[in-house]
Structure 1
Amino acid sequence: MKVNKRGVVGATAIAAVSSLALVGCAGGSGGGDASEAPEAAGTLTVWVDADRATVLKDAAAEFTDETGVKVNLVQKDFGEIRDQFIAQVPTGKGPDIAVGAHDWLGTLVTNGVVAPVELGDTAADYEQVAVDAWSYDGQVYGVPYSIENIALMRNTALAPEAPATYDDMINAGRAAGTEYAFLVGLDPEAGDPYHMYPFQTSFGAPVFGTNADGTYNADDLQIGNAGGDAFAVWLAEQGTAGILNPNISGDLARENFVGGKAPFFLTGPWNVPAAEEAGIEIAIDPIPTAGGEAAQPFVGVQGFFLSAKSENVVAATNFLTNYIGSEDVQTALYEVGGRAPALTSAFDAAVAGDPIVAGFGEVGASAVPMPNIPQMGSVWEFWGVTENAIVKGEGDPVTLWQQMASDIQSAIAG
C-alpha cells in the first residue's frame, strides 16, 4: 500500500512537538519487555491489535524508508492495552504510540501517561464528532481513525418506510403482524443504557452537561433532570406494554430479527452480517425520537494516542498525522474493521460506496461521544440496573430514577 500522505508536519506542529520532546526526553520508549525495547533513538514502538497491525505494516515500512525511523509494531490484546499502558509508561517501558478507544482518555490524562497531539489545520479534515471525542480539557490527544454507533436497522420487506417517531415505529411494527413490533437487546441483570441512551436524550436528559467547547462537565450531572424523570416514566410504560423486555438479550434480539420476527432492530454494524447472511434486505435509519428531541446515541471513536514519555515525539507525531491520518491508511482500516473512517475524505468515499455504512455514518455524525471523563465510571454501576428495575415495574419510576441520580452523585463525590 502506497501511503498518500497529508504532507509534512507544519511549523506550528513542529514547534509544539519539539517543546514536548524536551519534556519527554527523560522517559523511555518501547514495549513491555526487552524484546519490545527500541534499538535506537530513531525507533518508534507502536502497540496495535492484530487487525490494525496488518494495515499498519506497509505504512510503517514506508515511513522507515522515507525517514530512517524504524517502526516496531507490537501486537496486543485490545482489551488489555489501556491498563498495560498506564502501568508501563511511568516506568519508561511503554510504547511511543498505542491504539485505543476515546473513552479511555480521561483515565489516561489524569494518570499523566498521554501527551496532546498537534493536529493543527488538519483537525478540520476529520469528522467533528471524532475530534470532539479525542479532546479533553481543550486539547486533542489522539488521531482518530474510526467511528462506531448504533442506529435503527429496518427489514424493508416488513416496513417499507423509515419511522419519524418512536410511536410511528411501534405502530408500523404492529401493523407488520410480526411477533415483535421492535427489538433491542437488554441484559437481564445489568440492563443496557448504551442502547437506551438515544431514547433518553430525546427527553433532554444527557448524563453530563457540556462546557462551551463541547467537552463534558463532570460537575454538571444532568441525568436526574426533569427530562430524566419523563424518560423514567416512559421506560415504565414500555415495560408494561411488553415492548421493552429485559429477558431478550442482544443475542436473542438478533436471532429474532434475522428470523423475520420484527421489522425494527436497534443495533450496531456488528449485526449487519447476520442480517445479510439471512437474506434480509435492510436499511439503516435514524433512531426515532420518543421524547420529542433528537435521539442521539453514543458514538465510540477509536484512534491512536501518544505517550507522554516518548523520546521521539517529532517522529511519532509525523507518523500519527501524516501516515495514520492519511486517506489510504484510514480507508484500509475501514476495510478491515468495517467502521466508518474518521477522516472526512475517507468517510465520504466509504458512505458513497455503501448505503449501510452511509446509514450508520449519518446517525454517527450527529451522535454524541461517549463521555471520556473518569467520572463516567461512577455512572454505569447504577444506570442499567435502575433502568431494568423500572422496566420490570419494581417501584415508582421517578423515585427509582432520582435515587439512581443521587447514588451517582455520591459516587462521583467519593
Structure 2
Amino acid sequence: MKHSSFMKVAGVGALALTLAACSGGGTPAPSSSGESAAPQGGDLVIWMDENRATALEGVIATFEEETGTAVDLVVKDFGTIRDDLTTQAPSGEGPDVVVGAHDWIGKLVQNGVIAPVELGELAGDFEDVSIEAMTYEGSVYGVPVSIENIALVRNTALAPDAPASWDELVSTGQAAVESGDAEFPLLVGIDPNNADPYHLYPMQASFGGPVFGMNDDGSYNPDDLQLGNEGNVEFAGALAQWGADGIINLNISQDIAKEQFASGASPYTITGPWNLSTFQDAGVEYAVSEIPSAGGLPATPFVGVQGFMVSQYANNPIVAAQFLTDYIAGETAQTAIFESGQRAPALSSAFEAAQSNEDVAAYGEVGAAGVPMPNIPEMDALWADWGTTEAQIIAGDGDPAELWTSMADKIQGTLED
C-alpha cells in the first residue's frame, strides 16, 4: 500500500470530473469541466447500510445544507444492495448512489447498472490497493471508503507469541485443548454446507493455489482458471486432514466462532476487524498478526474494498458525482466510516491517521501483502461449487483430490458455456 503525501481534495469542477452516467431516461449525462462547477440542488437517492448511514449523518446534513440537495437516504441490508440495484435501477426505481463491495463491480458493469467515474488527480489521494480494486477494464467505478481483510487474532493469555508456522499454530492450539485451557485449537467460522472459501483462502494461497491467472497489467484473467492446479489439489488434501483433526470444524459458524473466541475458548481465530469490538467488550486481551503459511508460500488473504458508486440510471448524476468527490472522498467522511466500522479508510490521509490504532496498523500490514478479491463477473460461477466442495472435503465425504478436481472441471465447463 502507498502512504504518500496527497493533494487536497478540490471541488468537483477543479477535478475536471467526467461521469459516464445516464439520466433516468437513458440520455447521456452532461459532464462538468474545470471551467464550471457541477450543478447543485434537486433530489438524491442514496442506498447504504445502517452502519454507514449512522456514521455519515453529519456529512449528509452538511452536503444538503451546502448544495441545497434533498437527500433521500434508504437504509438497506448490505447483502441485498447488489441484486436490488440490478433489478430496480432499469425501471427507474433505483438510487442515484449506492455503497457496495468492489467485487460486485464486474457483474454490475455486465448488467449495465453502474457508471464509471474519471477521478483524475483525486485517485492519487487513495491507497493504491483501493483504486486497483475499484477498477474494472480500465475504468474506476466510484470512490473507495474502506479496506478490509482477515488476519490471525490470538488470545495472548493462551498464545503469548505469534506462531511462526502453521504447524506451530496447530500444536499450540491442540496443547491448549489438551491442558483444559481451551475448547478449540482454532476457530474459523464457516457454513456446514458451503464452508467459506473467503476465510479459507489464505491457507489455500499458501499452497500456490490462486483462483485465476493474472494479466500483465495486474488484472485477473477470466480465461485462465487456476483453481484446479497442483497447489490447489495439495491444499484439498491438507483441508481434509484439518477436518479430520478438528482444526477446521463445520459446526463452527461465524457467530459461534466470534462468541467462543470472546469467551476464551480458543487461542486463535481467523477473522476481520468487524469482530474486534465483541472481543474488546468481553475483555479479551488479543493481538493481530499474519496468518502463518500452511503450504510454504505466504498465506495472502483476499483484500476487500467497499466504496460508493453511481447508478447508470441516476436521475441526478452530476450531483451524485459531487457527493462522492467532494464529500465521500473527504477525510471527515472517511474517518467517520472508519470509526463506526473499524475498517481501514481508503483515503491515504485518513489511513495514515488511523495507523495510531494498533489493530488498524496490524490489519493493514497483513492486507498490504494480500490480493484484491477478483471483481470479474466470472467469480459468480465459482463460489457455490467451491464452498460446497470444501465442506465435503472437511467432512471427509470422498477423496479430496478427486472432489477438488471434479469441482474445478465443472467450473471450467461453466465458464466455457
| TM value normalised by structure 1 | 0.88
Distance 2:317 2:389 in 1: 45
| 1:225 and 2:236 are equivalent in the alignment | no
Q: How big is each residue's C-alpha offset from its partner over 1:320-369, in whole Å with a ceiling of 9 and x where there is no partner?
A: 112100011100111222222111211221231x2122222222233222
> Which residue of the partner structure matches residue 3 of structure 2?
none
- Secondary structure of the residue that 1:185 maps to in structure 2? coil
Shift of 1:85: 1.7
| 1:123 and 2:127 are equivalent in the alignment | no
- Secondary structure of the residue that 2:117 maps to in structure 1? coil
- Quote the RMSD (CA, aligned, Å): 2.5
Q: How does 1:371-410 map to 2 (within 5 A)?
A: 371-410=374-413
2:11 to 8, 12, 19: 8
Shift of 1:158: 1.4
Distance 1:316 1:292, change over 3 A: same
> Which residue of the partner structure matches residue 368 of structure 1?
371
Q: How does 1:93-108 map to 2 (within 5 A)?
A: 93-108=93-108
What code does the residue aligned with 1:298 have? Answer: F
| 1:203 and 2:207 are equivalent in the alignment | yes
In structure 1, runs of 5+ residues without a counterpart are 30-39
Distance 1:90 1:258 in 2: 45
| 1:242 and 2:246 are equivalent in the alignment | yes
Shift of 1:244: 2.1
Distance 1:83 1:259, change over 3 A: closer
Distance 1:286 1:5 in 2: 33
Shift of 1:84: 2.4
| 1:359 and 2:397 are equivalent in the alignment | no
Distance 1:101 1:223 in 2: 23
Distance 1:413 1:41, change over 3 A: farther
What code does the residue aligned with 1:410 have? Answer: G
Given that 2:41 and 2:70 are in contact with CA atoms closer than 8 Å, whether structure 1 keeps it comes out as: no
Distance 2:16 2:370 in 1: 29
1:273 to 277, 280, 285: 277
> Which residue of the partner structure matches residue 45 of structure 1?
45
| 1:146 and 2:149 are equivalent in the alignment | no
Distance 1:179 1:93, change over 3 A: closer
Distance 2:397 2:77 in 1: 40
Distance 1:277 1:167, change over 3 A: same
- Secondary structure of the residue that 1:300 maps to in structure 2? strand
Given that 1:340 and 1:347 are in contact with CA atoms closer than 8 Å, whether structure 2 keeps it comes out as: yes
Larger fraction in helix? 1
Shift of 1:12: 6.2
| 1:134 and 2:139 are equivalent in the alignment | no
Q: How big is each residue's C-alpha offset from its partner over 1:23-73, in whole Å with a ceiling of 9 and x where there is no partner?
A: 5484489xxxxxxxxxx9743322223332333333233334434444333
Distance 1:28 1:79 in 2: 30
| 1:342 and 2:333 are equivalent in the alignment | no
Distance 2:351 2:15 in 1: 26
Shift of 1:175: 4.2
Range that drifts further, 265-274 or 137-146: 265-274
Distance 1:278 1:75, change over 3 A: closer
Q: Report how many residues are paired.
A: 396
Q: How big is each residue's C-alpha offset from its partner over 1:10-31, in whole Å with a ceiling of 9 and x where there is no partner?
A: 65633x33xx36x5484489xx
Shift of 1:276: 2.2
Distance 1:169 1:411 in 2: 37
Distance 1:249 1:72 in 2: 36
Shift of 1:214: 2.2
Distance 2:257 2:355 in 1: 26
Distance 1:367 1:322 in 2: 30
Shift of 1:294: 1.4
Distance 1:253 1:50 in 2: 24
Given that 1:28 and 1:94 are in contact with CA atoms closer than 8 Å, whether structure 2 keeps it comes out as: no
Distance 1:311 1:391, change over 3 A: closer
- Secondary structure of the residue that 2:308 maps to in structure 1? strand
Given that 2:155 and 2:285 are in contact with CA atoms closer than 8 Å, whether structure 1 keeps it comes out as: yes
Given that 1:206 and 1:222 are in contact with CA atoms closer than 8 Å, whether structure 2 keeps it comes out as: yes
> Which residue of the partner structure matches residue 32 of structure 1?
none
Shift of 1:168: 2.1
| TM value normalised by structure 2 | 0.87
| 1:309 and 2:313 are equivalent in the alignment | yes
Shift of 1:182: 2.1
Distance 1:368 1:318 in 2: 30
> Which residue of the partner structure matches residue 262 of structure 1?
266
Shift of 1:134: 1.3
Shift of 1:153: 0.7
In structure 2, runs of 5+ residues without a counterpart are 1-6, 29-39
What code does the residue aligned with 1:267 have? Answer: T
Distance 1:218 1:334, change over 3 A: same
Distance 1:149 1:244 in 2: 19
What code does the residue aligned with 2:358 have? Answer: P
- Secondary structure of the residue that 2:74 maps to in structure 1? strand
Distance 1:211 1:393, change over 3 A: same
Distance 1:248 1:12 in 2: 49
What code does the residue aligned with 1:48 have? Answer: M
What code does the residue aligned with 1:118 have? Answer: E
Given that 1:129 and 1:366 are in contact with CA atoms closer than 8 Å, whether structure 2 keeps it comes out as: no
Shift of 1:89: 2.3
Range that drifts further, 62-71 or 157-166: 62-71
2:216 to 212, 221, 237: 212
Given that 1:27 and 1:311 are in contact with CA atoms closer than 8 Å, whether structure 2 keeps it comes out as: no
What code does the residue aligned with 1:384 have? Answer: G
Distance 1:412 1:160, change over 3 A: same
Given that 1:28 and 1:92 are in contact with CA atoms closer than 8 Å, whether structure 2 keeps it comes out as: no
Given that 1:28 and 1:310 are in contact with CA atoms closer than 8 Å, whether structure 2 keeps it comes out as: no
